Amino acid sequence: MPKLQGFEFWSRTLGGARHVVAPMVDQSELAWRLLSRRHGAQLCYTPMLHAQVFVRDANYRKENLYCEVCPEDRPLIVQFCANDPEVFVQAALLAQDYCDAIDLNLGCPQMIAKRGRYGAFLQEEWDLLQRMILLAHEKLSVPVTCKIRVFPEIEKTVRYAQMLEKAGCQVRGHGVRSAGEGAQGAMSAGHRRVGKRVSRVPQAQGEWPREPSGAALSAPAALKPPSPTEGNLHNPALFEGRSPAVWELAEEYLELVRQHPCPLSYVRAHLFKLWHHTLQVHQQLREELAKAKTLEDVGEVSQALRLQCQEDMSRQKEGEKPSGGLPFFHWICQPYVRPGPKEGSKENSGAAGSKRALEEEDGGRPEVLSKNKQKKKLRNPHKTFDPSLKPKYARCDQCGNPKGNRCVFNLCRGCCKKRAFKESADCPGHRLLFRTKLEKSLAWKGDQPRLQEPPPPGPGGPGGFPEIVGSAVA
C-alpha cells in the first residue's frame, strides 16, 4: 500500500482529527491518552522519546511503546528528539509498526534540549534537518511530521516550513515563538495567515489563548492545534465542552492506571494538575498526596478528596459565587490561567520584598521557612538557615571551587593534584607528596647492589646436570 501524504494522510489515516493531545514529557503516557480519547480526543502523541536511548535500550522501548498492544490507542504519533539522521531513522524503524506516523521534535525550548542539541535548538541547522527528514521519508513506511517553532520574521518562517515540506514532512505543528524568545507567547496572526496560504500539508496552529469559557476550541485551522498542555491536564474533558467534578476524572484515570501501569510519579503529577484548585483549599490533602508511596495510597487520598468536596458542596449557599475569581467552584474541572510576564514579575517582586522585610525585621532570619527547609529541619532539628552563620570559603584561583585552607598553591584539591603532579611538588595540606615519593624512589634505586651474573653452564646442558649424574655413576 503506498504511503499517504498531505491532506490525504490526515483525512484517511488520522481520520480528519481535529482534537489533538500534544506530546508531553512523562505526562502523555498510555493511561492518560486513553482517558483523553474517552472524552473527545481524536489523535494523541506519545511523550517525547530520546532516539538514541530508544535504539540502544530494549527496556526503554518496552516501557514507552512496546508495553502492550492497545487497539483503542490509535491513531497515534510517536515523537522523537534527535540530531543524527541515522539514529533518528533507526529509532523510527523500531517504532513504525506501533504507530501511524513519526514526529521529529523541533520545538522543545528547554535547557536540556539546548545541552543535548535537539528540539528548537536545531532550527538554524537547515541542512541537517533536511537530511533527517529526507532519509526518514525515504526509509519509513509511515509518514513523517514535525513540531516546529516559528521565527520572529514571517518570511524566514515560510522558507523554513517550505524546506521541511519539500524534504518530506506531511503535517506541521506550528509552535509558538522561537526558542530564543521563551516558551510562552502566541503565534502572530500574520504567521498563521501566511502559513495557511503557502502550505501544502495540514498544519496545527499551536498554542491559542486559554479562556475559561472554552473559546479556544473554535480556533480556525484545517487541523486543530494540539491541546494546550495546561488545558488538557486540568480538564481532560475539554474537547467534550464540559467540566465534570474533579474526583470523577481522577477515579477514572486511576482505574486506567491499574489496567495500564505507569510510574507513580506520573500519576502524582497528573493529580496535582487535575486537583490544582481543590488542593489550594485543602492543603492537608496536598501533603498526603506528596507522601503517597503506592497506588493504593493515592486511591485513599482520592477518596478523602471526594468526601471533602462533597462536604463543601453541601455547605454551599444558594446564589453563592466561587471565590478567588474562578469561573466555577474548586471541585469542578477548570483551567489554570498562568499570569502573564508582567503580572508574574509584579508578584515575584512583591514576594521578594516581603521576604526581605521579614529578614530585616528578625535580624536576617526569616520567620517562615519554605516547605523544603521545614523538611530538612525535621530531619535535623539543630540545622540553621541563617546565612550569617554559614562558613565563608576562599575560592580556588583556577576553577572557583572552595580551596584548601592549607594548600601551598591556594587551589582546590583537583587543581592542586594536577599542578603538583605536573611540577613534581608536595602539598602537605592536601596530602599530596609527589616530590617526596620521587626522591624516595630514586634513593631506593641507588642503594640497591647490582645483581651478580650467574656462572656459565657446564658442558652437557643447563647447570651441568648430566656431568654430575655421570660422575656419580662412575
187-226 residue pLDDT tens? 555 565 555 555 556 666 544 333 333 333 333 333 444 4
With CA atoms as reference, report the closest residue to 313 among 300, 322, 301, 325.
322
- Please report whether residue 170 resides in a domain: yes
Examine the domain organization and report whether 376 and 400 are in the same domain: no
Query: Are 240 and 39 contacting, i.e. CB atoms less than 8 angstroms apart?
Result: yes
286, 370: one domain: no
Q: What are phi and psi of 315, to 5 degrees?
A: -90, -5
Q: Is residue 452 part of a domain?
A: no
Q: Tell me if residue 333 is catalytic.
A: no
pLDDT class for 310, splitting at 50, 70, 90? very high
pLDDT at 351: 46
Q: What CATH number has the domain bearing residue 437?
A: 4.10.830
If one compares 62 and 342, the residue with the highest pLDDT of the two is 62
Domain boundary (357, 374, 389) is at 389
Residue 159 lies in a domain: yes
In a domain, 236, yes or no: no
Residue 146 · residue 152 · CB < 8 Å? no
Does one domain contain both 221 and 76?
yes
* 190 and 121 fall within a common domain: yes
One domain for residues 37 and 73: yes
Work out the pLDDT band at 151, boundaries 50, 70, 90. confident
In the set 99, 108, 396, 416, the catalytic residue is 108
Establish if 41 belongs to a structural domain. yes
Region 64-86 average pLDDT: 89
Q: Are residues 215 and 281 in the same domain?
A: no
Note whether residue 277 is domain-resident: yes
pLDDT of residue 215: 31
Residues 201, 249 within the same domain: no
| Least confidently predicted of 131-135, 251-255, 339-343, 409-413 | 339-343
Give the pLDDT mean for 70-75.
90
How many angstroms separate the CA atoms of 260 and 29, rounded? 9
Provide the pLDDT for residue 472: 40
- Burial letters 267-284, b for 16+ CB under 10 A, else e: beebbebbbbbbbebbee
Query: Which helix (DSSP H) or strand (DSSP E) does residue 453 occupy?
Result: none
Entry pTM:
0.67
Tell me the per-residue pLDDT of 33-45, one tens digit each, with 9 for 90 and over. 999 999 999 999 9
| Number of domains the chain contains | 4
The pLDDT tens digits for 372-384 are 888 787 778 777 7
**Is 206 among the domain residues?**
yes
Residue 185: pLDDT over 70: no
Q: What is the CATH number for 120?
A: 3.20.20.70
Task: Choose between 156 and 360: higher pLDDT.
Answer: 156
Which residues form the domain of 214?
Answer: 6-227
pLDDT band at 453 (very low <50, low <70, confident <90, very high): low
Asked if 159 and 259 sit in the same domain, the reply is: no
Are 213 and 262 found together in one domain? no
Q: Are 165 and 286 members of one domain?
A: no
Shared domain check, 309 and 163: no
Note if the bond before 228 is cis, omega within 30 degrees. no
The rounded mean pLDDT for the chain is: 80
Q: Indicate if 183 and 292 belong to the same structural domain.
A: no
- Evaluate if residue 363 carries a pLDDT over 70: no
Asked, for residue 419, whether it belongs to a domain, the answer is: yes
DSSP string, 37-87: HHTT--EEEPPPEEHHHHHH-HHHHHHHTSS---TTS-SEEEEEE-S-HHH
**Grid cell 506528596 — which residue?**
290
Residue 180 has pLDDT above 50, yes or no: no
SS (H, E, C) 147-203: EECCCCCHHHHHHHHHHHHHHCEEEEEECCCCHHHCCCCCCCHHHHHHHHHHCCCCE
Residue 139 above 90 pLDDT? yes
Top pLDDT among 68 and 138 is at 138
